[in-house]
């Protein structure tokens, strides 16, 4: 199919063409048969099949293994400012629909799931934090970022500026340098802001916090834990800045022990506990969670009614998924052995490469190790501001299970 544009062309293998027809937005380098000479890195190209059939258009990267990130399948799309404004507006309207009163603290743009591949935008009250992982978005950000601000401000949202958190190694795969700092020159350049989530208040350090400053995807999973925690003694492992611990205490937990290996994160968690008037019911311990759980299991003297396991991603590739599964199995088995019969376990994995099937198989093995049975209470995933596209498995990454140990 011919188009009325003059975009460079990339010819795709039959396998790659099938992937595109099935809805996947990435074309890997191994599926590129040939490409026009001299394509500028990050420019928009037309992807065509071996028979010359138009498949879609997207960002071209001459350095990344992801050679083309598809944007759309309209052969006549112009990719002008109006196109990008529509994409941003669609994303924002979706959040207003699914998040309702929670839009002051949510993920505004989730990359491919919002048709903006390689772009993450999180909102923390009056600050937007961006992460740009594709050369195509990087090239267009001087148009995109003002559009994002305009769309939100035109809707009455008080946003003072954009802070870029591009201090991630993945940028190097696109030939981009790591950096962080304010985009433009907002009047107020303070990098610590306050948010409210589930009735809990947090200080968020957008400059130094993990990822974009705070993990928003577990918002409603934390609320699910709070509903169960009332009157219980709770152990929150990998607490980071204390989000699950604070929700448990807010939900009426008798006492919460929050453990993390990062002393800096715990200092911020303690400040959050004080700010919420919960410091008298939360104990913070700086320790390696694996060692801490082993000691609890061996000692048998510390009793908890509920244990929360929310570790960082143990694997970021398929090659290390096996080792990660062993790590998940160990901490879950320890937790099941520490809990009394009738105790409660909330356990999560945020790695896409630890699939739902593998995670459930691991949980069954851990239960066998601990000689217990699991009574399922809830199976949850990420909050809807992190939408899952069924044709893009990479968008489906968070697993969250709540059990009673019987």
Phi-psi category of residue 371: left, alpha or beta, with phi > 0 → left and psi -120 to 50 → alpha: left
Q: Where are the beta strands (DSSP E) in 29-110?
A: 32-35, 44-48, 54-60, 66-72, 105-110
Active site residue 72: no
Angle between helices 321-338 and 356-370 (to 10 degrees): 40
Element (H, E) at 348: strand 344-349
Q: Residue 206: which of 191, 221, 188 has the closest Cα?
A: 191
Q: Could you tell me whether strands 54-60 and 66-72 are parallel, antiparallel, or unpaired per DSSP bridges?
A: antiparallel
Measure the CA–CA gap between 15 and 30, rounded to whole angstroms. Answer: 10
Structure tokens at 403: 């059990």
Decide if 58 contacts 70 (C-beta within 8 A).
yes
Return the biggest CA–CA distance within the chain: 74
Measure CA of the first residue to CA of the last residue in the chain; give whole Å: 62
In the DSSP assignment, the letter for residue 186 is: -
The single residue of 105, 106, 334, 350 carrying the catalytic annotation is 350
| Cβ atoms within 10 Å of 273's Cβ, excluding its own | 24
Q: How far apart are CA 263 and CA 90, in angstroms?
A: 40
Q: Cα(288)–Cα(72) distance, rounded to whole angstroms? A: 46
Catalytic positions are 350
């Amino acid at each position: 199919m011919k188009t009325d544009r003059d975009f460079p062309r990339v010819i795709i293998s039959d396998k790659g063409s099938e992937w595109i027809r099935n809805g996947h937005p990435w074309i890997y380098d191994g599926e590129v048969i040939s490409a026009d000479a001299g394509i500028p890195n990050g420019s928009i190209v037309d992807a065509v099949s071996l028979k010359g059939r138009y498949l879609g258009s997207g960002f071209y990267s001459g350095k990344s293994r992801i050679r083309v990130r598809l944007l759309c399948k309209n052969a006549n799309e112009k990719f002008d400012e109006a196109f990008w404004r529509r994409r941003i507006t669609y994303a924002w309207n979706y959040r207003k629909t699914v998040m309702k009163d929670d839009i002051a603290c949510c993920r505004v743009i989730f990359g491919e799931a919002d048709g903006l591949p390689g772009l993450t935008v999180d909102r923390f009250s009056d600050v937007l934090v961006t992460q740009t992982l594709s050369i195509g978005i990087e090239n267009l950000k001087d148009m995109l970022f003002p559009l994002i601000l305009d769309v939100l401000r035109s809707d009455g949202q008080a946003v003072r500026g954009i802070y870029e958190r591009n201090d991630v190694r993945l940028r190097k795969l696109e030939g981009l340098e790591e950096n962080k700092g304010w985009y433009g020159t907002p009047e107020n350049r303070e990098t610590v802001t306050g948010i409210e989530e589930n009735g809990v208040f947090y200080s968020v350090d957008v400059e130094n916090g993990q990822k974009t400053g705070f993990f928003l995807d577990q918002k409603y999973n934390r609320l699910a834990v709070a509903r169960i925690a009332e009157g219980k003694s709770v152990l929150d492992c990998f607490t980071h800045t204390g989000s699950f611990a604070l929700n448990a205490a807010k939900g009426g937990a008798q006492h919460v022990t929050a453990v993390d290996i990062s002393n800096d994160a715990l200092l911020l968690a303690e400040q959050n506990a004080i700010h919420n008037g919960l410091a008298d019911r939360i104990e913070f311990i700086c320790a390696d969670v694996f060692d801490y759980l082993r000691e609890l299991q061996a000692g048998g003297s510390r009793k908890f009614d509920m244990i929360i396991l929310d570790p960082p991603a143990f694997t970021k590739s398929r090659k290390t998924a096996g080792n990660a599964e062993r790590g998940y199995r160990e901490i879950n088995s320890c937790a099941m052995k520490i809990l009394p019969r009738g105790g409660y376990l909330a356990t999560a994995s945020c790695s896409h490469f630890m699939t739902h099937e593998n995670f459930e198989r691991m949980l069954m093995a851990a239960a066998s190790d601990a000689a217990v049975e699991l009574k399922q209470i809830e199976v949850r995933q990420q909050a809807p501001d992190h939408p899952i596209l069924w044709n893009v498995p990479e968008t489906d990454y968070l697993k969250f299970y709540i059990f009673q140990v019987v």
